[in-house]
Amino acid sequence: MAGNKASGAATVAAYTKITRSGGRSYLQLVEGFREEEGKVRHRVVANLGRLEELTPAKLDPLINGLNRVLGRAENTGFEIAQESARAYGDVFALHELWKDLGFDRALAAGMRSGRRKTDVDALVRAMVFNRLCAPDSKLGCLRWLETVAMPSMPETVTHQHLLRAMDALMDHAERVEIELARQIRPLVDRDLAVVFYDLTTVRIHGEAEVDDDLRAFGMNKGEPQANGGIARQFVLGVVQTAGLPLMHTVHPGNVAETKTLQAMLTTVLQRFPVQRVILVADRGLLSLDNIDTLTTLADQGGRKLEFILAVPARRYGELVETFRGLAFDEAGLAEAGFAGHRLIVAHDPLRAAEQSEKRRARIAELETLAERMVGKLDAQEFGPDRAAADPPVEDPGPDGATDRGHRASDRGAYSRFTRAVAEAELTRFLQADFTADRFSWSLDEAAIAEAELFDGKLALLTNAPDLTPVDAVVRYKALADIERGFRVLKSDIEIAPVHHRLPERIRAHALICFLALTLYRVMRMRLKAKGHAASPRTALDLLARIQKHRTHIGPGTFEGVSRPEPRQLELFSALSLPKPV
């Protein structure tokens, strides 16, 4: 009767209730309802049993059923085990960028093979992302993988897995690089491609030699750890346009720079079918002797190859009269002809004054050194009376120490003076007179005046008929962006030192670092386009604070991502990437 009477009543709440009867306790499920007249009454929906007989095994199904209805986790009566949180935001962003650029498709297309048991794409991604987030050796990459929640990674990764992935990458290197170029093509202006090319050196460890060894001793280009000089190394070339790396080349460490150019240009013309190519390179790369070969190469494909190159310093002697006749405009630019091409010269008066003053000061130091040596020789020759009238100055040795206790000689003065002049690279201006009976030297003022003629000037050669002098200078100065990329490779990405010895492993390492540089540059381009001040390095550090958590409750495992902060959300927006979930 009670149930019928309340059949039209509205439920207020349901809850559990413990009742006692005959010295025993019972658990009941009770429902509160409101009658038509507004009074609230209660009724027992279910008797769940004697309290002392109710075990988790009996109650958990009911509790978990209610939790599922509400979308909550299951019964928390089990022990909760929380794993260490792993960085997620940075690798998530890089993974989304990797897919957005089509690099996943490029590797899949370039490495088609039904026999591969290793997930090469995932392992290559891991090594590329490691270069950007925490660059280290391959063993260091394994330790780093234990601290991040890398998307779509195999459960187990070993050092051998990484090496096999590098080998597989090189087995299909040409096809992979062609597919990568295909993904980059949409970002390249097909009507006019200004191609920048430059080389750098990469230090490498190991003494043993192998067949076709890339490791060779050559002049190091000033890596921070090597401080220039002769080092065992390989040479890395990078081709770039508008801040975007297009491709890279790898050469032995002692290669002549000009010899790398033709193969590079052949590959660029094959992979990037632009109709007009303006090649910008530094004076160490292009020689006037190979321009005809390069333009012929482009003409064979029906393309037009133009160039902007700095005139090599060894050719400056041919430009003395040309420079004397130049008339610079208000912007400090002048134009003339040289070797059948346009010669564009930019003049910076402040830089010119600085270079001239520095040269004159160093020459003055060397002349002072020479005069001190003459004074000592005179004091020895003319005796104490002359020495008292003109006190000698002790002659510094080659290492700067005073040569106490040793008698000075003309031969010693000649030796020390010529060595000091050679070290200062001023032999054009200061010369010892070896035909004279006594130590003497001469200063070539005409040579100094000729050198000052070139101070503060940038001489460019181009065959592009429609480029203004301003455009040519601006495009050449943009070549400095490759140098900034090399600094990123050697600092943020830490391409060196390399510990591999096999040539193909070295090439694989270079490709992995090049892919990391490409991701870095795309991040930089997107951040700058949105007016965001963060660098890619700063952005990745901030995104790494977004962590993935994994919790075990009984037999269940639950994963979650920490809530992004506003600054992190701004970065995802600036990078045009989805937010992590």
DSSP states along 334-381? EEEEETTEEEEEEE-HHHHHHHHHHHHHHHHHHHHHHHHHHHHHHHHH
Q: What is the pLDDT of residue 192?
A: 58
pLDDT of 400 reads 40
Element (H, E) at 98: helix 89-100
Residues belonging to the chain: 581
pLDDT given at position 474: 94
Neighbours of 158 (CB within 10 A): 10
Residue written as tokens 């040579």? Answer: 447
d(CA 389, CA 379): 9
pLDDT tens profile 487-503: 999 889 998 888 888 89
pLDDT of amino acid 398: 45
Using one digit for the tens of pLDDT, what is the confidence trace for 22-46?
Answer: 888 988 888 888 877 778 888 888 8
Helices and strands, number each (H, E), in the chain: 19, 18
Nearest to 398 by CA among 362, 367, 423: 423
- Give Cα separations from 168 to 63, 107, 521 (angstroms): 52, 11, 26
pLDDT in the model for residue 402:
42
Taking phi over 0 as left and psi of -120 to 50 as alpha, with beta for the rest, 34 belongs to beta
State the Rg of the chain over Cα.
38
Q: What does the pLDDT read at residue 191?
A: 55
pLDDT of residue 399: 40
Evaluate whether 41 touches 35 at the Cβ level (below 8 Å): yes
* 246 sits in which H/E element: strand 244-252
pLDDT of residue 563: 93
d(CA 395, CA 414): 12
CA torsion 185-187-189-193 (nearest 10°) is -70
Crossing angle of the two packed helices 536-543 and 89-100, in degrees rounded to 10 = 120
Query: Cα separation of 509 and 136, whole Å?
Result: 12
Max Cα–Cα distance, the chain, nearest Å: 142
Q: Which residues, given as ranges, of the chain have pLDDT below 70?
A: 1-11, 73-78, 113-118, 189-192, 221-229, 286, 288-289, 300-301, 382-407
DSSP type of residue 6: T
For the chain, the straight-line distance linking the first and the last C-alpha, in angstroms and rounded, comes to 53
Rounded Cα distance, 334 and 348, in Å: 12
